[in-house]
A and B are shown apart, each in its own frame.
Chain A
C-alpha cells in the first residue's frame, strides 16, 4: 500500500526548480537594463523632453516655468543654500518619523490587543486625522515657540496614522488556528505575541511605513510654510515671494529626492526584515 507521495513530490519539485532557475537568470541582468528601471526612466525622459521644449522653445516664460538647465545650474551653484535648509527639514523628518513610528506602533499594539484600550483610543485615532492641523499651526507656534517643535508635531500627526492602522491590521491578521494550537500547548500570550503576532505584523507594518515615509517630507515642508525661518519649505516660500521660480523648482527637487530616499529606506528595511513577504509576492 501507500506510495507515500513519491511521485507527487517529484512532480511538485519539477516546476519549482525551473522557476528558481528563471529567477536567477533574471537577477543576473544589471539593474539599469531591467524593465523595472528602463520603463520609468523612459517616461521621465519623455516628460523632461516636453519640459525642455516648452521652456527653451519660448512657449512659456522663464518666470512661469524655468528651464530644467537653469534649475540644474541652481542646484549646483546654490548647493550650500539648499543643503543648509535641507538639514533642517531632514531633522524634522527624522525626529517626526521616529516619534511617529513609536507612537504609531504603541497605539496599534494597544488597540489591536486590548479591548478597553481599543474602545477608548480607536475613535480618537480616527478623529485625529480629521483634525485641521495646519489651521491649528499658529496655535502650535504659540504653545511650542518658533523652533522645530511645532513642525515636528505636524509631521508626527501625519506619520503615525498609517503606521497605527498597519500595525492593527498586521497583529489581527493572525489566523485563530495557530493561536489555538499555541494556547493548547500552554504558550503564554507573550510567547504568541513574539513568535506569531509580531512576525505576522511586519509586512503590514512596512506597508504603513512606506506610506508614512512618503508623506513625511511633504508634511515637513507644509509645516514650514506655516511659519519657519529655515528649511526647504521656508526657502521655497521666500523664493516664491521673490518670483525666483528656479529656486522653487530646486527646492521641489530636493523635497522629492528626500521623499524618494525615505521611501527606498523603508522598502529596503522591508526586504531585509520581512523577506518572505516580498518573496511570496514576486514568486
Chain B
C-alpha cells in the first residue's frame, strides 16, 4: 500500500470519484437557486484533472460535494463506485486564500491537518521538518505566516494539504491570488511535487493556461448553473514547460477553443442584455 492512501477511517485505497448525473441547488422551494446542473464526471486515482469555468459558476460547490460536506440535490456522488455517505475520507482541500493560522509557525501550520485527523502534533512535526526542503521552506520552520511572501505561504498551505496523506487533493484556485511570475513558479513546483507520487488532483482555476499546463484533461464548465460544456484530454508529454507549450499548435488550438467557450459571443450578448 502506498503511503498516501493512509486514511484513518478506511482501509481500502482510493480508486475513483464519480459525479453521477449530479445536480445541486441552494435553498428550498421557490427560493431555490440551482448551482450545478446534471454533471457526470469520473476521476480515476492518479489523475490530474483541471476544471475551468467563469468565476462564480459554482466550481467551489463542486468541491464541497466531492468532500461530502454538502449532499447532492439530485443524482449521487460515488467513491470507489459506491455512494458516499457522510464526509469523504479521501479528500483534502487547499484554497486560494491560504488560511494559515497566524499564531502557528510554518511547521505547526503544516501539522494542522494531521492534528484534525487525530495525530499527535509532536509526531507529525518531525515528519514535516523532514519535508521542509522538498517544499522550499528549509530554514523557515519557525517563521510565522505574516513573515512569509505569498508564494511561500502557498507552499506552506500545499505542504499542509500534502501532509494529511489524503490521496485525493481538492485544490481550489490555489495560485489565484499570486502574481504571474510567482504563480508560474508554483505551477512548476506543483508539477514536480505531483510527479513524485501522482496523487489524484482536482484543480479548479479560472486561468486557462494554468488548466492546460497542469492537467491530464480539462473540464470546461458553463456559467451558472454549472454544467460540463466540454472535456478535453491534454496529451502533452510530461514534464511540461510553459515555453514549449506556448509554441505548440495543439496547445494554441485548445487554448482558443476553451477561451471561446468561456467567453462566447452568446454569453457576451447575455451579459449586455
Contacts and interface: CB of A to CB of B under 8 A. Distances in A.
Contacts of B239: 1
Contacts of B82: none
Nearest to A276: B103
Nearest to A9: B136
A5 B197 CA distance: 21
A138 interface: no
B185 A5 contact: yes
B88 to A, nearest CB: 7
Given A2-B188, A8-B149, A185-B92, A274 B103 contact: yes
Given A5-B185, A196-B101, A276-B103, A182 B116 contact: yes
A4 B87 contact: no
A279 interface: yes
User: In the complex, which range does the number of interface residues on chain B fall in?
Assistant: 35 or more
Interface residues of A, number: 34
Interface in A232-283: 274, 276-277, 279-280, 283
The A contact surface, by secondary structure, is helix
Interface in A184-200: 184-187, 191, 195-196, 199-200
A184 B146 CA distance: 25
A183 B151 contact: no
Given A1-B239, A175-B99, A186 B188 contact: no
13 contacts: A2-B188, A6-B136, A8-B182, A177-B93, A178-B99, A181-B93, A183-B69, A184-B67, A184-B87, A186-B9, A186-B116, A196-B101, A199-B103
Given A5-B136, A184-B93, 20 more contacts: A3-B185, A4-B192, A5-B185, A8-B149, A16-B147, A177-B99, A178-B112, A180-B64, A180-B67, A180-B95, A181-B94, A181-B113, A182-B112, A183-B69, A185-B116, A186-B87, A186-B89, A200-B101, A274-B103, A283-B146
